[in-house]
Amino acid sequence: MASTEPTLKTSLDALAVESVEAANVVERPSVWARLMRNPSVIIGGLLISLIVLLVPTAPLLTSLDPTEINPRNRNKPPGYEATYKDDEGNKYTLPAHMGTDKLGRDVFTRVIYGARVSLIVGLSVACISVLVGLTIGLVAGYFRIVDAIVMRIMDGLMAIPAILLAIALVSLSGASLVTVILAIVIPEIPRVVRLVRSIVLSIREEPYVEAAISVGTPTAKILFRHVLPNTVAPLIVQGTFICGSAILLEAILSFLGVGVPPEIPTWGNIMAQGRDLFQIYPHSIFYPGVFLTLTVLAINMLGDGLRDTIDPRMSREI
């Protein structure tokens, strides 16, 4: 009986310790739960969702052609009942919610269709920059023999202001949507390369990576299994900021006349074509400017929220 009591007491003590430890364990919320608690993610996500919805629903929101010229409706204020003719010559009126420009084109229609081009540019630049920068960054960070050469090239590109480099590239190649996308991609790639390279250099020194190298694990397997997963969260955040920066840079290039061709409705082109009459008819610039500001602001807010939630190390570094 005496030998049984210590065993029973030990078991009860162990059970008590396990109960206390279990009570002290706090289950960490999932990434989705943490995102839903972040105001920047919620506000930015809602604004972006509303703007993205304009792309597929544009034909439902307006029946007008964004490039159709109507001299009789030139420079009308917001709310004006503009007159149009159908294919059979019958006249009808539609309210110009945001007024019309100097060629009689409906500003509301042009702003909605302009969102399509701006989002295409932003998403294309973000995806291409991340994919190309990821590839170069992995090579530069892991293979030190090419690191110095690659990083000197990246430093040279980063030394040139992005807008000047984009203007030069568009001027040499001619204005088109593809040219503008490529001209914006090139200045963004070095930023992704530097980010990925820094991650690779830190991961490469980890004991489990050194152990994998010592046992002869193929380089491709090390990169895809150990290194690449650690770049996902930072690249999502970086890609978000690149998207907002690309949309703004495209608008600047179009406003300066070296971006997307003038016949394509973009927010930058709309503002450029209305700047000569801005003091008299400010609505031609005001509304596309508001949409541009809200879009870039929403994307940056979303990026801040993602950074704080899925990669808090970047927040502390910044």
Cα dihedral sign for 10, 11, 12, 13? positive
Span 94-99, average pLDDT: 85
> For 148-195, how does the pLDDT look when each residue is reduced to its tens digit (9 = 90+)?
899 999 999 888 888 888 888 888 887 788 999 999 999 999 999 999
Is 245 inside any structural domain? yes
Please give the residue range of the domain that contains residue 147.
50-60+107-317
Confidence grade of residue 8 (pLDDT, cut at 50, 70, 90): very low
- Least confident window among 6-10, 104-108, 227-231, 254-258: 6-10
pLDDT recorded at residue 313: 57
Is 135 inside any structural domain? yes
> For 117-136, how does the pLDDT look when each residue is reduced to its tens digit (9 = 90+)?
999 999 999 999 999 999 99
Is 219 inside any structural domain? yes
- Residue with the two structure tokens 């400017």: 289
131 or 312, greater pLDDT: 131
Is 187 inside any structural domain? yes
CATH number for the domain that contains residue 182:
1.10.3720.10
Is 31 inside any structural domain? no
Beta bridge partners of 83: 93
DSSP 100: B
pLDDT recorded at residue 31: 67
pLDDT recorded at residue 18: 53
Amino acid sitting at position 288: P
Is 8 inside any structural domain? no
Is 286 inside any structural domain? yes
> Where would I find the H helices in 25-101?
31-36, 39-61
Domain count, the chain: 1
pLDDT recorded at residue 39: 83
CA distance 313 to 318: 9
Max intra-chain CA distance, the chain: 109
Is 34 inside any structural domain? no
The overall average pLDDT reported for the chain is 83
Burial state string for 263-277 with b = 16 or more CB within 10 A and e = fewer than 16: ebbbbbbbbbbbeee
> For 33-57, how does the pLDDT look when each residue is reduced to its tens digit (9 = 90+)?
777 788 888 998 899 999 999 888 9
